[in-house]
């Protein structure tokens, strides 16, 4: 293995229950006088967003609200938000919510000063250098779920409507200047969403850890992130008011996004097209695919997974880790097959073809071709781990 790599680590994080009270201060510290608060339609009606909005107004900030965001956001959501930002002469974004709101908020901030189409900045090669960095306004990120880790990421996932393809828009300056991680904001998250987002965090850590390449910093962060999920996800699902468990899951989510700069893999490569085509929840889709991808990659990752299992107190074998994943999914209500997501085989060929060109496919430990992607898909559809 060549010991040569580029490493990046995230931003300033204000972590702890009650830290949302510092939102106006964080805006002022970032030089934001007229923030655009970007959130989803459901959260826009909730007290936590109304309170945050009023706190900014009371602090003398010229705040406005934008919430036209789908659960799997599309380019129109970004374009409409950019128009609102420009019309209101806003000089920063407060991205408030789950992964969708965070991603859209960051991309709105990024696109606010760009003249080229958004797809010119897809995470391909050095396309990010096409952007005018002076036109990017600062972002304050406030996550309300513990899954994507978008609050410490430099990209946003947006669906291109014409092709029904999820694309990653990337620029280093999309990293929020400050993140407020307040686990109290996640207390009201329903159990099924806590489960799905928590498995998303776990998938990020797992795929980052398994990705090839030299990044021991990311490996260490990923391993500890998975331990936190093991110790806290069930608690958070079953007792939503458990602030310690909620806090640990919020930390795990940020750790997953910090680690996956090393790479992701087939879990995400298959989840992205299914989310775009069937509008399934991303974390839930990742959770369904997870054990099948583990089996597919076993030849390449077994020694690493055995070390991971030992660290997590699972007995130190691949089979022990796989058993843990299956038991965890069962305990928190994750479907065992794609049929549980109302996904059939009518688009199987297209999904396999889309998966191998997804930007995450390149990080899979075993090269993913159409045949392999289809094999994983069929196994997950039928619930046959041996077939993967």
- Partners of 158 in beta bridges: 167
Q: Where does 132-265 have alpha helices with state H?
A: 191-210, 216-238, 243-259
What's the order of all strands across the beta sheet hosting 92-97?
A: 12-15, 178-181, 139-143, 92-97, 35-38, 64-66
What does the pLDDT profile of the chain (388 residues) look like in tens digits? 567 666 667 899 999 999 999 999 999 999 999 999 999 999 999 999 999 999 999 999 999 999 999 989 999 999 999 999 999 999 999 999 999 999 999 999 999 999 999 999 999 999 999 999 998 999 999 999 999 999 999 999 999 999 989 999 999 999 999 999 999 999 999 999 999 999 999 999 999 999 999 999 999 999 999 999 999 999 999 999 999 999 999 999 999 999 999 999 999 999 999 999 999 999 999 999 999 999 999 999 999 999 999 999 999 999 999 999 999 999 999 999 999 999 999 999 999 999 999 999 999 999 999 999 999 999 999 999 998 9
137 φψ region: left (φ > 0), alpha (ψ -120 to 50), beta (else): beta
Q: Is 277 helix (H, G, I), strand (E, B) or coil?
A: helix
CATH superfamily of 191-387: Dehydroquinate synthase-like - alpha domain (1.20.1090.10)
15 φψ region: left (φ > 0), alpha (ψ -120 to 50), beta (else): beta
Neighbouring C-alpha atoms within 13 Å toward the C-beta of 236: 34
* Residue 178 φ/ψ, nearest 5 degrees: -145, 140
User: In Å, what is the CA distance from 190 to each residue of 101, 187, 196, 239, 332?
Assistant: 18, 8, 10, 10, 12
- Pairing mode, if any, of strands 92-97 and 139-143? parallel
Q: What confidence score (pLDDT) does residue 10 get? A: 86
- What's the CA gap between 388 and 379, in Å, rounded? 5
383 φψ region: left (φ > 0), alpha (ψ -120 to 50), beta (else): left
* Residue 167 φ/ψ, nearest 5 degrees: -125, 145
- Partners of 155 in beta bridges: 170
Q: Is 359 helix (H, G, I), strand (E, B) or coil?
A: coil
The structure tokens 């054990």 sit at 291
Q: Is the dihedral of CA 379, 326, 298, 8 positive or negative?
A: positive
- Pairing mode, if any, of strands 155-160 and 165-170? antiparallel
Q: Which two tokens stand for residue 21?
A: 């009270």
Burial of 8 (0-12, 13-18, 19+ CB in 10 A): exposed
Q: What confidence score (pLDDT) does residue 365 get? A: 98
The structure tokens 């075993």 sit at 366
- What's the CA gap between 205 and 221, in Å, rounded? 8
Q: What confidence score (pLDDT) does residue 9 get? A: 76
Which residues lie below 8 Å from residue 352, measured CB to CB, with a gap of 6+?
370, 371, 373, 374, 377
Q: Which has the closest alpha carbon to 52: 68, 69, 75, 35? A: 35
Domain ranges of the chain: 12-186, 191-387
CATH number among 3.90.1150.10, 3.40.190.10, 3.90.550.10, 3.40.50.1970, domain 12-186 = 3.40.50.1970
Q: What confidence score (pLDDT) does residue 204 get? A: 98
Burial of 18 (0-12, 13-18, 19+ CB in 10 A): exposed
Distance between terminal CA atoms of the chain? 28
- What's the CA gap between 60 and 311, in Å, rounded? 50
State the DSSP code for 74: B
- What's the CA gap between 210 and 225, in Å, rounded? 14
């Amino acid at each position: 293995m060549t010991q040569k790599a580029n490493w990046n680590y995230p931003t300033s994080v204000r972590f702890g229950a009650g830290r949302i009270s510092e939102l106006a201060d964080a805006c002022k510290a970032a030089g934001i006088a007229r923030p655009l608060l970007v959130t989803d339609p459901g959260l826009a009606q909730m007290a936590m967003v109304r309170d945050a909005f009023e706190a900014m107004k009371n602090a003398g900030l010229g705040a406005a609200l934008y919430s036209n965001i789908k659960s799997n956001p599309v380019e129109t959501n970004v374009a409409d938000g950019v128009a609102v930002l420009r019309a209101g002469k806003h000089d920063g974004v407060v991205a408030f919510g789950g992964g969708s709101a965070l991603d859209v908020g960051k991309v709105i901030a990024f696109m606010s000063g760009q003249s080229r189409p958004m797809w010119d900045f897809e995470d391909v090669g050095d396309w990010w250098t096409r952007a005018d960095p002076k036109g990017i306004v600062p972002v304050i990120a406030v996550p309300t779920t513990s899954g994507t880790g978008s609050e410490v990421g430099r990209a946003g996932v947006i669906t291109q409507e014409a092709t029904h393809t999820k694309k990653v828009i990337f620029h280093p300056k999309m990293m929020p200047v400050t993140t407020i991680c307040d686990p109290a904001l996640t207390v009201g998250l329903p159990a099924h969403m806590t489960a799905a987002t928590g498995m998303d965090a776990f998938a990020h850590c797992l795929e980052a850890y398994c990705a090839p390449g030299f990044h021991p910093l990311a490996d260490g962060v990923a391993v500890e992130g998975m331990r936190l999920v093991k110790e806290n996800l069930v608690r958070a699902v079953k007792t939503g008011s458990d602030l310690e468990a909620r806090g640990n899951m919020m930390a795990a989510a940020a750790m997953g996004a910090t680690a996956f700069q090393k790479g992701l893999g087939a879990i995400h490569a298959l989840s992205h097209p299914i989310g775009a085509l069937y509008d399934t929840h991303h974390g839930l889709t990742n959770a369904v695919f997870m054990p099948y991808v583990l089996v597919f990659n076993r030849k390449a990752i077994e020694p690493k997974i055995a070390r991971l299992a030992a660290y997590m107190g699972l007995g130190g074998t691949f089979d022990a880790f796989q058993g843990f994943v299956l038991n965890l999914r069962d305990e928190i209500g994750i479907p065992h097959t794609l049929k549980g997501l109302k996904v059939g085989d009518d688009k199987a060929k297209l999904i396999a073809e889309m998966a191998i060109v997804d930007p995450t496919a390149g990080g899979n430990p075993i090269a993913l071709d159409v045949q392999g992607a289809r094999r994983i898909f069929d196994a997950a559809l039928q619930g046959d781990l041996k077939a993967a």
